[in-house]
Amino acid sequence: MVTWKEPRLDLTVKAKDISWTLNEYTTSQTLGDDQYLVFIDSNGGEIEVTLPKAASASRKIYTIKNVGTGTVTIIPDGTEKIEWEDNLVLGLQGDIASVVTSGVAINKSEWFIIGGRNVKLEDLLRDIKIELENIDDKLRKIELYKQIETKEKVK
C-alpha cells in the first residue's frame, strides 16, 4: 500500500509488517517515534533537526535528507553525541545521513552514522577550500612582488 498526501509530502509505504512514513519539513523539528524518514527543505536557510533521547529510541534508525539549498544540522538530545560530535551538518543539497542508537552510550557516543552521502565529507572539503584559498592568496602576493620588481628594474 502506498499513500500520498499534499501539500506537504507524506508518503506511507507498507509491506508485510513494515511501515514507513516519509515527511517533508521546511522548519526546525524535534523527531518523534514515527518520523524515521525525513526530507528537510532547507531553502529558507539553516534548519535544525533534533533527535529524540537515545534511551527512548533504542534500535531505531532515522534517515534525514537535505533536499534544499540551505544547511540542515542534526542535533542529538541534551548532552548526547553523534559519533562523538555535538551535531552532524548536512550542508549540501542531496546530503543524507542515517543514524542509529542502541539506547545507551558506547564509548561516550549515543548515536552512530550507519549510512549516507557526503556525511563528514563536507568538513574535509571545507578544509581543502580554505587551503586552496590560502595558496591563491600566496600566489597573488608573489605575482604582486614580481610586478613591483619589474617596475623597479625599469626605473
Domains of the chain, by residue range, sit at 2-118, 120-155
Q: What's the mean pLDDT in 141-151?
A: 85
Question: Residue 7: what pLDDT?
Answer: 45
Residue 37 burial by Cβ neighbours in a 10 Å radius (0-12, 13-18, 19+):
middle
Q: How far apart are the first and last CA of the chain?
A: 84
pLDDT at position 75 over 90: yes
Question: What is the CATH superfamily name and number for domain 2-118?
Answer: gp9 (2.60.120.640)
pLDDT at position 5 over 50: no
pLDDT at position 8 over 50: no
Question: Residue 52: what pLDDT?
Answer: 94
Do 48 and 31 form a contact (C-beta atoms < 8 A)?
no
Tell me the backbone φ, ψ of residue 83, rounded to 5 degrees.
50, 45
Q: How confident is the model at residue 18 (pLDDT cuts 50, 70, 90)?
A: low
Question: Residue 64: what pLDDT?
Answer: 96
pLDDT at position 130 over 70: yes
pTM: 0.67
Q: What value does the mean pLDDT of the chain take?
A: 83
The arrangement of strands across the sheet holding 72-75 comes to 29-30, 47-50, 72-75, 88-90
Residue 18's SS3 state is strand
